[in-house]
Structures are given as structure tokens and as C-alpha cells.
Amino acid sequence: MTILVTGGAGFIGSNFVLDWLAHHNEPVVNLDKLTYAGNLNNLAAVHGDPRHHFVRGDIGDTNLVTRLLHEYQVRAVLNFAAESHVDRSIAGPAAFIDTNVVGTFQLLEAVRSYWSGLAIEVQAGFRFLHVSTDEVYGSLTPDAPAFDEQHCYAPNSPYSASKAASDHLVHAWHHTYGLPVLTTNCSNNYGPFHFPEKLIPLVIHNALAGKPLPIYGDGRQVRDWLYVLDHCSAIRRVLEAGTPGETYNIGGCNEMANIDVVHTVCAILDELRPRPDGVTYAAQVSFVKDRPGHDRRYAIDAGKLERELGWRPQETFQTGICKTVEWFLTHQDWVEDVTSGAYRDWVEKQYADGHPRP
């Protein structure tokens, strides 16, 4: 048996592949387009591991997906592939519609066709797990209860609208065709391999480079932060024991305002890598123009996942953020590679004709 992971060279997908292979012997086919956000260096630890098969390609490439499903006799598809950055979706939404909406539709159709041809008993065990976000629920007022699975969808950005559309497609493919799907809606992740366009890795990178730490608006927007390996363990648990057709919210019970997150990161850096002049990194904070349509607060109620499947996060924000800052301090070569463009140049040469060079 084999699982097919899409987007497995991105931040969460690569953490998931590494985590999966640390817990299971079941092989992984990893299908990733290697956009700017995909990075094979994230998977260096499994380079040459016969359980990991990397394929560069698009989830919307029906022929390729169909071939992989048959060739590896896939028993579960985990769909991480997406355009994921809200600011990029505001600047240019087209790629978000192409991958998150149309790509997910094409993936669902390829999987449905493969699944329909399986023997009845194999069909029953098959799973399509769709990785989604808390942003589909929209924005909460300060005292409103956290999002549970019954919360209405009210996406506000091109990114969250495209993810909401993909969630609806996934639900419809279950309701109409009986495809055994699982959907997870997770809060903000952080941890190793986080691309330095997102708040936490951007702040670490800019702090060390002596650059301003940009805080949108008043910095009082609230996010619910989850260490990425806790997200991975939740997905493994949902895949193992979730009920087809159901949605599971995943969160860290760690609501924090952005400005407090940034001050926490600065304090850890002050401790581990003090500035030569002795001044705190917090002095680099710079309030900038707000993100258009910026959602004020997200919070996840992960009670269903705990009650029904016994999952709880292992990390608090304090333990997770210390690990994360330490990881970035000891992996400056990784940061340098993704920020300098050297990695992208390498990908373009390596995959010039669509296939890896020997």
C-alpha cells in the first residue's frame, strides 16, 4: 500500500512526509509542482530512501495523477497542494483559482475515476484527505466562541475563498459520488521549513538581517498558532480513524495577537543571538499599512478531534516557538538558499524538460 501526498515539498507537506516516514514503513508518492514555495531541500533527510518517490507535477494533470494512482496502487490521497499565502492572493488571485479550485476539481475527478474501479472492499478503505484552513470561516469578534465544524463558511480573501470552494467540492464528491473524503481545517502553523514570506519566519529573517519587522495595521489581529508537527500528528490520526464525510478542526489553543508573537520571537532571539549593540530586536518593529480586508481574529475549537479521536497538541506556543527559532538559527543556509534565489535557479535547471536530471 502507498499514500499519495500532494504538495509534499511545501512547508506542511514536507514536514508531513518526514513525520510519516518516521512513524510508518508505508511508502509515499510525493507529487509537487515545485512552485516558489516547494523546496526539495526540505526532503533532504529522505533523499535516497526507497519509501519516498518524488514526482514533479501538477495536481491538475489528470493523466499524470491517474498514472501514479494505478502504478503505486494508492490507498489514500492527502491533498496539501495549494497556493497558500494570503498577500499573494490579494496581489494576484489567478493562481489560487487555478490550483486551489480547478486543480482540486481535477484531482477529485482523477481520484474518483480510479476509486470507482477498485474492488468493493478496497473502495471502502480508500481515503481522500483534504487539508484546509480555518480562514474559510471568516473573521471572529473578540468574544465570539471559537470556530467549530458547524460554523458557517464566510471567506474574506481570494485565498480563503478559493480554499472554501475546494472544501465544497470535496464535500460534494462525498455526498454525490460516495468518495470517502475527510476534511481538516487547521489554524496557523509554524515550525521548520516555514517559507520566509509568512509572519514568523519573516520576522526571524529580518531581525537577523537588521531589517524592519513589518506589523500590519495595529498588530492586534489574533491567530491561533499550532506547531507544524502537531498538525502532522492530527492528520495521521484523522486518516487512521476519521469518519468519511466528516470535517475535523485542528488548532493549538494558542490564540495570540501578532504583536505579541513578534515580541516573543524577539525575546528568544535576544537570548540566543543578542544583537552586537545589546539593543533588543523589538526595536526593529515597524508598523506598516494594513493588509486589505485583514481578518481580525481566528480561533479553532478542536474539541471534536479530541473527543472522537483522542488527539491533542503536544507543544505549547512557548515550547514550539523556542524550537522554531532554534531551527532557523541552525539552518541559516536553508534560509539563504530560498531567499537568494539560488534554489529556484537550481530547480529550473534541474527540471528544464520536466524531469529531474540524473
Return residues touching ligand DAU (CB under 6 A). Answer: 84-86, 133-135, 187-188, 198-199, 202, 214-216, 221, 223, 258, 291, 298
Question: 199 is in the binding site of which of ligand NAD, ligand DAU, none (Cβ under 5 to 8 A by kind)?
Answer: ligand DAU
Residue 68 sits in the site that holds ligand NAD (CB under 6 A): no
Residue 324 sits in the site that holds ligand NAD (CB under 6 A): no
Residue of this chain nearest to ligand NAD (CB atom):
10
Residue 82 sits in the site that holds ligand NAD (CB under 6 A): yes
Q: Which is nearer to ligand DAU, 134 or 230 (CB)?
A: 134
Residue 84 sits in the site that holds ligand NAD (CB under 6 A): yes
Residue 30 sits in the site that holds ligand NAD (CB under 6 A): no
Nearest approach, Cβ of residue 284 and ligand NAD (Å): 24
Residue 7 sits in the site that holds ligand NAD (CB under 6 A): yes
User: What is the SS3 assignment for the chain?
Assistant: CEEEEECCCCHHHHHHHHHHHHHCCCCEEEEECCCCCCCHHHHHHHCCCCCEEEEECCCCCHHHHHHHHHHCCEEEEEECCCCCCHHHHHHCCHHHHHHHHHHHHHHHHHHHHHHHCCCHHHHHHCEEEEEEEHHHHCCCCCCCCCECCCCCCCCCCHHHHHHHHHHHHHHHHHHHHCCCEEEEEECEEECCCCCCCCHHHHHHHHHHHCCCEEEECCCCCEEEEEEHHHHHHHHHHHHHHCCCCCEEEECCCCEEEHHHHHHHHHHHHHHHCCCCCCCCHHHHEEEECCCCCCCCECCECCHHHHHHHCCCCCCCHHHHHHHHHHHHHHCHHHHHHHHHCHHHHHHHHHCCCCCCCC
Q: Which is nearer to ligand DAU, 212 or 341 (CB)?
A: 212
- List the interface residues with ligand NAD, window 144-183 (CB under 6 A): 163
Catalytic residue positions? Answer: 134-135, 159
Residues 32-61, mask of contacts with ligand NAD (x by CB under 6 A): xxxx-xx-------------------xxx-
Which residues of this protein are in contact with ligand NAD, per CB under 6 A? 6-7, 9-13, 31-35, 37-38, 58-60, 80-84, 99, 103, 131, 133, 163, 186, 188-189, 195
